[in-house]
Amino acid sequence: MELDQASLTNYLVFITRKLSKLVNKAHFALSECELCQNETFAHPFLCEHCINDLPLFSYRLLHNNLLNWPAVDKLFPNREFEQLLCLAPYIAPFDHWLRQFKYHQRFELTDLFAFLLERLCESQFKHTNNCALLAVPIHIKKWQQRGFNQTHLIAKALEKKCNLDYLENALRRVDFSDSQVGQSGKLRRVRLKNAFEITNQSPQLPDNVILLDDVITTGSTTNTICRLLKEKGVKHITVLTVALTLPKKHLINFNTQ
C-alpha cells in the first residue's frame, strides 16, 4: 500500500504529538509516591493526596506558634525560645522516615523535609531582618562515624528554598557522648550543660535565630543551645523541627495506627 504525501504528513504530526505528550507526562511524573505508589506531581517523593493526609500539626488557632497550644506549652516550662514550629508529632510516617534518613542514609528525604518545612514557614522569615538559620550540631566523631549530620543537610536544603542565611559553622558540639536514650532528664541536663559552644568562625550573631533540629524529645538539647545563644545577645529564637515527641494522651487527634 502506498501512502500519499498528505497522509504521511498527518501520520507524522500524529506521532509527534503523541511522543510530545508522553515526554511531558514522564517529565512531570517524576516517580511514584512513597506511600500509595501513585504518580507524583506535587513532589518527587509524595503525591498531593498523601501530602494532604500527613498527620501535621494544625496552626489554624495557634498564630504560627506551637507553644500557644497549652499541651505543648506545659512540655517546656523553662524554655529559652520564643517560638516553636514543628511539622508533626513523632509518629508514622515521620518516625519511620527520620530513622531511615538517619540510620539508612535515605538522603532523598532531605528535600521532602525541606519542602514541608518551607510550606510550614511560608514566607514569614523572608522579610525578617537580622535573622539567621542555625542547625543543632553533632560531635565531629559522630559526624565521622555516620558520615553526615542529618540536621545540617536539611538546613542546607532549607537555606536555598527559603533564602535564609545559614551560619553552618556558628555552633559546635564539644562533648562527645553516646546516644542519650535511657538517661534521666537530670543526667541529660548535666551532660548537656557544657556540650556546645559558639565558635568564632561566624560573624556576630543576629537578633533573630531560627534553630533547626530533626526531632525534639525533651527539649534539653535545644534549650541548652538557646541559653548559649541568649548569652551571646540573641533576642528571639524560633525552634524549627520536623517532629516533636508528644505524650500519648495528646495524640488522640492524630492517626496513630
Binding site for Zn ion (CB under 5 A): 33, 35-36, 47, 50
**CA Rg value for the chain:** 23
Nearest C-alpha neighbor of 83 from the set 40, 44, 124: 124
Minimum distance from residue 39 beta carbon to Zn ion (Å): 9
- Rounded to 10°, the helix 94-103/108-121 angle is 130
Distance CA 37, CA 40 (A): 8
| CB nearer to Zn ion: pick between 33 and 211 | 33
| CB nearer to Zn ion: pick between 22 and 36 | 36
| CB nearer to Zn ion: pick between 56 and 62 | 56
Minimum distance from residue 21 beta carbon to Zn ion (Å): 23
Minimum distance from residue 32 beta carbon to Zn ion (Å): 8
| CB nearer to Zn ion: pick between 47 and 240 | 47
Place of cell 536555598: 160
Place of cell 546516644: 179
| CB nearer to Zn ion: pick between 50 and 66 | 50
Minimum distance from residue 25 beta carbon to Zn ion (Å): 17
Strand 196-198 and strand 171-173: pairing? antiparallel
SS3 content of the chain, % helix, strand, coil (to 5): 40, 15, 45
Minimum distance from residue 54 beta carbon to Zn ion (Å): 10
**Greatest CA span in the chain, whole angstroms?**
89
